[in-house]
Amino acid sequence: MTADIIDGKAFAANLRAKVAAMVPAFREKAGRAPGLAVVLVGEDPASQVYVRNKHKTTVEAGMESFEHRLPADTTQDALTALVEQLNADPAVDGILVQLPLPKQIDESAVLATIDPDKDVDGFHVVNVGRLSTGMHGYVPCTPLGCVMLLKDRLGDLSGKDAVVIGRSNIVGKPMAQLLLAENCTVTVAHSRTAHLPEVVRRADIVVAAVGRPEMVKADWIKPGATVIDVGINRVPGAEPGKTKLVGDVDFAEAVEVAGAITPVPGGVGPMTIAVLLRNTLVAAHRLADVPYDEKAI
Ligand code: NDP
């Protein structure tokens, strides 16, 4: 058996196009474009690439992009003051503070300063609480993107056995909450889970969000299962001095057993920015009091 490849790149392009198609109507009703503010502190190279991509895709979708780049030695107070200024700015619908932050900054204190109604990353405890109690809020982009891919592939997820490997606040925990909301039977595995391969073998849906290159092997996967690989790991490439990206799943092996699988790159990765734009569009409608069908995208 060879798994179907879930094309996250194409799905994300389609999602971005749907968002872009809805921007003109919003502009007309609200008299302005949806606005996303991204704050980058320091010079982490990966973060710089992410922020550049976010700016580019935001502009391409017809939205306003506000970039704030602060030096690595920025103080907590200075960053808090900027977030408060963005909270009060009516042109800004979504605020994203790029993580990780430099050591002198208390990350959770900064996230707590963001207005929950502009928290398009869904990391504020108010939105975490809304997600876990089934209220409207903002859901972290990567796990929401994973659920979109799963529903596109499988339709109704009710009654499926899902195993999420990883319990971070950014991916694992919100992923588990979303799958629970879709009526899956959810197991959350982590570094202390006993007999992990056996646990994973029970799953109709496997979501790997670990950060360990190619950890999940073919014999961990139930034949026909749907495998979502969130991992992004840079490892040495075939040629000396070159690197390549791999996921948390041993793709070459797993593709022979799974029913469907996301590749790395080109699977979950492109979904994150597309969902960020979608969340910003939703925030803009809510803040400007423009009616919006939340099921539209
Ligand atoms: P974290 O490091 O915050 O969390 C990793 C999780 O994996 C932890 O819960 C940890 O368990 C668990 N874990 C570690 N080792 C093992 C093991 N041997 N067996 C079982 N579980 C283990 O990572 P993130 O959640 O932030 O990210 C996970 C991966 O997803 C990374 O590769 C990251 O780059 C990628 N990522 C991709 C995104 C995208 O856009 N596609 C966005 C965000 C992340 P414990 O809690 O016990 O320590």
Q: Answer yes or no: is pLDDT of 294 > 80.
A: no
Return the ligand 1 atom nearest residue 190 CA: 21
Domain extent, residue 57, equals: 31-115
Token pair, residue 294, equals: 């939340």
Which candidate, 289, 272, 247, places its Cα nearest to that of 122?
Answer: 272
In this structure, are 147 and 266 located in the same domain?
A: yes
Is residue 99 assigned to a domain? yes
Return the ligand 1 atom nearest residue 247 CA: 32
Token pair, residue 79, equals: 């960053």
The pTM of the full predicted model, rounded to 2 decimals, is 0.97
Alpha-carbon 122 to chain mean position? 9
In this structure, are 61 and 157 located in the same domain?
A: no
In this structure, are 151 and 256 located in the same domain?
A: yes
Q: Answer yes or no: is pLDDT of 296 > 90.
A: no
In this prediction, residue 285 carries a pLDDT of: 97
Any idea which residues carry the catalytic annotation? 54, 98, 121
Token pair, residue 39, equals: 């704050």
> Which residue minimizes the CA distance to atom 34 of ligand 1?
232
CATH number (domain holding residue 110): 3.40.50.10860
In this structure, are 166 and 244 located in the same domain?
A: yes
**For range 275-297, the mean pLDDT:** 94
Q: Answer yes or no: is pLDDT of 89 > 90.
A: yes
In this structure, are 234 and 156 located in the same domain?
A: yes
In this structure, are 166 and 247 located in the same domain?
A: yes
Reported as a single tens digit per residue, the pLDDT across 7-56 is 999 999 999 999 999 999 999 999 999 999 999 999 999 999 999 999 99
d(CA 150, CA 6): 9
In this structure, are 151 and 239 located in the same domain?
A: yes
**Which residue among 50, 169, 188, 230 is best mutated to probe the pocket of ligand 1, counting the most ligand atoms within 8 A of its Cβ?**
230
In this structure, are 104 and 145 located in the same domain?
A: no
In this structure, are 99 and 195 located in the same domain?
A: no
Annotated binding-site residue? 158: no
Annotated binding-site residue? 167: yes
Is residue 133 assigned to a domain? no
The total domain count for the chain is 2
> Which residue minimizes the CA distance to atom 3 of ligand 1?
168
Is residue 278 assigned to a domain? no
Q: Answer yes or no: is pLDDT of 176 > 80.
A: yes
